[in-house]
Amino acid sequence: MQVVNKEAMNDLGMRLAKKLTSGDTVLLTGQMGAGKSELARGIARGLGYAGPIPSPTFTILNQYEGGREKLYHFDWYRIDDVEELYASGLDEVIGYDGITLIEWHQRAPELCPEDALEVVITVKDNDVRVVELISRGNFRSVCLEEL
C-alpha cells in the first residue's frame, strides 16, 4: 500500500490499532526516517491516547496506560547489549498484557516473539512510503486493504 504523507501514516496506524489486541507484538521495519514512529503514533491515537507520543529512541521504552489496551513502544536502535533490554523490562511486557511495538527489532532478533505482525516501510520519492504487512509465525493474517 502507498502512504503519501505523514498524516496518512498516522491514519493507517489508527486503523491498524483497531485490529490489535492484548498480547500482540508489532515489529516495525524500515530505515531511519521511514515513518516507524509516525505509524506508532497513529496506533497509540487509535488506542485512545490523547497526550504526547514521543519517539522512544533515547528512552528505549515508552509505556502508555489508560487507552483500550496498554501500549509498550520500544526502540532498540541504541541497544549494544541485550542485557540492556532486560534492564528495560522487556521480558516482563512482551506478549503479556498489552500491545508491543518494536522499532529496530533487528538489533535483538532472539528476543522477538516468533508470532508477530511485521510492518515493512520502504521510502519512495519525497513523502511516499510503501507499507507491507507480514504475519510471522502463527500471527493471524491482517490485510492492509481491509483496514
Ligand X SMILES: Nc1ncnc2c1ncn2[C@@H]1O[C@H](COP(=O)(O)OP(=O)(O)OP(=O)(O)O)[C@@H](O)[C@H]1O
Give the residues lining the site for ligand X (CB under 6 A). Answer: 3, 5-6, 9, 30, 32-38, 55, 57, 75, 103, 127, 129
Report the residue number, 114 or 125, with the smaller CB distance to ligand X. 125
Cα 30–chain centre separation: 11
Q: How far apart are CA 123 and CA 30, in angstroms?
A: 8
Let me know: does 109 contact 82? Beta carbons within 8 Å: no
In the complex, residue closest to ligand X by CB: 35
Nearest distance in Å: CB 53, Mg ion: 11
Nearer to Mg ion, 23 or 63 (CB): 63
Collapsing DSSP to helix, strand or coil, 115 comes out as: coil
Whether 40 and 53 have beta carbons less than 8 Å apart is answered as: yes
**Residue 146 neighbours by CB under 8 Å, 6+ apart:** none
Residue 36 in the binding site for Mg ion (CB under 5 A): yes
Cα separation of 16 and 24, whole Å? 12
- In the bound state with ligand X, the residue whose beta carbon lies nearer, of 9 and 90, is 9
Contact status: 105 vs Mg ion (CB under 5 A): no
Closer of 55 and 115 to Mg ion (Cβ): 55
The footprint of Mg ion (CB under 5 A) covers 36-37, 55, 103
